[in-house]
Structure 1
Amino acid sequence: MTVPAAPEPRHPLQIRDYRLFWVARFAGVIATLSMVVVLGWQVYDVARSDYGMSRSLAAFQLGLLGAAQFLPLFLLTPFAGFAADRFDRRWVAVAAMLLDIVIAAALGFATWSDNLTLPLLFLLAATHGTARVFFGPAMNALAPNIVPAWMIPRAIATNAIAWQFATVLGPAAGGMLYAVFPSFPYIVSVFLLALAALMVALIKPLRQPDIDRKLHPIRQVKDGLRFVWNDRFLLGAISLDLFAVLLGGVTALLPVFARDILQVGPIGLGWMRAAPAVGAGLVALWLAWKPMERNVGVKMLWAVAVYGLMTALFGISRELLASLAVLVVLGAADMISVFVRGSLVQLNTPDHMRGRVSSISGLAISASNELGELQSGVVAALIGATGAVVFGGVGAILVVVIWAYAYPELRNARTFAPAYRVKDDGKPAKEQEGAMT
């Protein structure tokens, strides 16, 4: 008798290795965002309490915190992409999480022993940025190898569920645990990061991307940069997020609103950090059940515009519930943008380039986040937190208008079908039949 073949999986969670990946993403995001929320609160609070800084100068320290995390990202991102394409992506991600465990333990001990200083917080934040720069490209390039190509958009939406719900739980848990005992968030993060590292280590070995291993690493890094630069579609999608979030990011100034404007303390800060993920998580659930298929480029542009509008509205809100509602809508709009951009970039990038392209995309995201924090801190020091947030939201809307006309490839993207291939010379070339019209 012949044994009937196992049915083909219809959803990413039916695949064992993807389930391990999903749990790792979920646990890792809870851990890191819990740390980030507490770290931002501690920087602002130490600056105000221990150093006697004014509100504006303490807000500027939050900008410096973003710069401290961005510096290693800027310097190491191209090499992190090379590592994700050259070495086993599982072990690159595990090594990054082990480094984060050390950082969490150091922050927990310094908090427990009451030895926190701004230089120490900036140093550990920069080290955390180093861990993130290798973790992101490895994990982002790993996922498409686990599921079939046709399942990638659904896998991205399912992965976003892990990300967004962890983004709800992480900040909220960090704020509440900190209020109970300041070291608790870091202790919990150590255990969650260890769990995430174990899950990734249990993923079965995957086929390594087919790259020319005789090429010098610097040449391979340059090839990744050239690929993105020569592909207007990828360049437009990545740069849209870079400049929109660079201007419209509100995250850095949330400690200012929590402590001095809305006066809701670390628990309120946790809820405000979690609110965008509530909206994003709901949208991710919808997209995992019914993925977006038509007019994806236009929807991405509109989503970024709504993101900018909600940012401006948050800046003028003075009621916690209204602020939370605005942040929920902001997160929902951001999730649509992330889903569309992530699917288009993954499906338009060949596997042997995914690590390097993911690292460049990750650099843009990190630049928009961390440099956005620096921009917010500087502008807040000049015109106040409210003015900085409103200015950034309006700026994000203007970016959408400019990009819609500067990169018509974006608004003309109809579906997620791959539109590009790679020619023998390594340069991108548009397929005769694809997603773009």
Structure 2
Amino acid sequence: MPFIAPFLSRNKALGYPRFRNYMMMRFSIIMALNMQAAIIAYYVYQLTHDKLALGMIGLWEVIPAVGVSMFSGHFVDLREKRTLLVRCFFAYLLLSAFFVSLTWPGIDGLISTRGIVWLIYAGIFAGGALRAFISPSSFALMGMLVPKDLYPNATTWSSAAWQAGAVLGPLAGGFMIAYAGFRTSLVCSGLIEVVGLLALLRIPKQQILNKTREPIFKSLGEGIRFVFSTQIILAALSLDMFAVLFGGAVALLPVFTDDILKAGEVGYGWLRAAPGIGSIITLLILSFVPLGKKPGVKLLICIAGFGITTILFGLCGHFGTEPVFSYSGFAVSYGFLVAFLMLLAGGMFDAVSVVIRGTILQVYTPDNMRGRVAAVNTMFISSSNELGAMESGITARLMGTVPAVVFGGCMTLLVVAVTWFKAPALHTLSLHGGEDKDTDKKTN
């Protein structure tokens, strides 16, 4: 086809088979985990009908994700990344089996509803600890699969794989809940993890770049000092952390779906998938049209757009909840359409942030510190996502669901304004810093 050659010339990272296997691995694990998270969140809400219970899911994941990340980066830098990822995959498969067991027929006769919920929290806690290792390992591995001059393009496609999984996971979860129940849905998420594991095993083991055995706390201190002394990295991480912290409307989707929009399980799946659909649209555009000049300014504009769409999403119920037509077994109202479009637009804005932040980390991080810097990134991002879920649950309990989401969007806009004045390095940001590095040949 005539468009293939120009497409590949603009996306040279795809010419590396190892990187394509990496994308399949990343897509599969993200799809499986997002599918599992959507199923578990809806299951918890069906068991409890408690908004705070949804916020507690975020709390139980963020505690180990942040706490273990303080140490995981040190171990990632000293060990072979592909092997670490394989071990994480096997642990996730065991965790999937644990969640399946909690939905088995008759389990509610052996364990109380409260006990099941607390066991789910325990599984989520274990998953948060695993994330503290899989995120820095994955980040460090990608930097070893393509030359440094291809990092922007590779980050775009890595983000596209992530977002594709983030779209299909919740969407598949919503449909599977509606048509097959919770247990079968969780089994399917485990099978998708197996696909990712097989793709990972096709990537050769990589060399260990940092072989210096130094005291763990000294190693951790160096990683943290590097992040806090590099204004561009610190600004990008802080901006994303606080924006997502206050813009965590997705955590309240079960409430919006059941209590406000009356959209049911299928509607929940579509709303949960909407941000990812928007992200994929943007990432496909970026594969043809690079970010170009002033990416830091574009980052701030997109985070502001994310805040505005969060506010409008929170007000979706005011646009009408009476059905205007039916589709795929659920009634669609104007409020549902507004919610879907705002989540879609928010995903489009967020995709630009993800690409810019990911490229900043790849370009400005020394090779021997990738694990530690990625671990700090995990602490920032994990804390923002999961604490954002907790913040949404608490503020929804105190203020009400709609005021909580609107408040979060307004706070996101405030964060953008503060960052504009406090981080002038973003105004002149370049995504082509660092020296080029010739990695392995495309034939690997």
Provide the TM-score with structure 1 as the length reference: 0.89
Other-structure match for 1:416: 431
Superposed CA offset, 1:293-331 (max 9, x none): 210000000000000000000000021111101111000
CA contact (8 A) 1:301 1:411 kept: no
SS in 2 for 1:205: coil
**1:208 counterpart = 2:219:** no
Q: Which runs of 5+ in 1 are unaligned?
A: 1-6, 49-57, 422-437
**1:362 counterpart = 2:363:** no
How many correspondences in the alignment? Answer: 404
- In the TM superposition, what is the alpha-carbon distance from 1:246 to its structure 2 partner? 0.5
Other-structure match for 2:69: 77
**1:46 counterpart = 2:52:** no
- In the TM superposition, what is the alpha-carbon distance from 1:249 to its structure 2 partner? 1.3
**Equivalent runs, 1:157-172 vs 2, <5 Å:** 157-172=156-171
**Equivalent runs, 1:14-413 vs 2, <5 Å:** 14-48=15-49, 58-113=50-105, 114-115=107-108, 117-181=116-180, 182-213=182-213, 215-318=214-317, 319-413=335-429
SS in 2 for 1:183: helix
Superposed CA offset, 1:365-423 (max 9, x none): 1111000011111100001111110000010000000011011111221x2121699xx
Superposed CA offset, 1:239-282 (max 9, x none): 11111110111111111111111111222111111001111001
C-alpha separation between the residues in 2 aligned to 1:281 and 1:219?
Answer: 40
SS in 1 for 2:144: helix
C-alpha separation between the residues in 2 aligned to 1:219 and 1:184?
Answer: 47
CA contact (8 A) 1:209 1:351 kept: yes
Change (3 A) 1:346 1:112: same
Change (3 A) 1:411 1:420: farther
CA contact (8 A) 2:11 2:153 kept: no
One-letter amino acid of the structure 1 residue matched with residue 183 of structure 2 = S
SS in 2 for 1:294: coil
One-letter amino acid of the structure 2 residue matched with residue 180 of structure 1 = Y
C-alpha separation between the residues in 1 aligned to 2:63 and 2:405?
Answer: 23
C-alpha separation between the residues in 2 aligned to 1:227 and 1:238?
Answer: 13
CA contact (8 A) 1:349 1:420 kept: no
More RCO (CA 8 Å, sep 6+): 2
C-alpha separation between the residues in 2 aligned to 1:161 and 1:236?
Answer: 23
- In the TM superposition, what is the alpha-carbon distance from 1:133 to its structure 2 partner? 1.4
Q: Which runs of 5+ in 2 are unaligned?
A: 1-7, 318-334, 437-444
Between 1:183-192 and 1:108-117, the stretch displaced more is 108-117
Q: What's the Cα RMSD here?
A: 1.8
One-letter amino acid of the structure 2 residue matched with residue 43 of structure 1 = V
Provide the TM-score with structure 2 as the length reference: 0.88
- In the TM superposition, what is the alpha-carbon distance from 1:94 to its structure 2 partner? 1.5
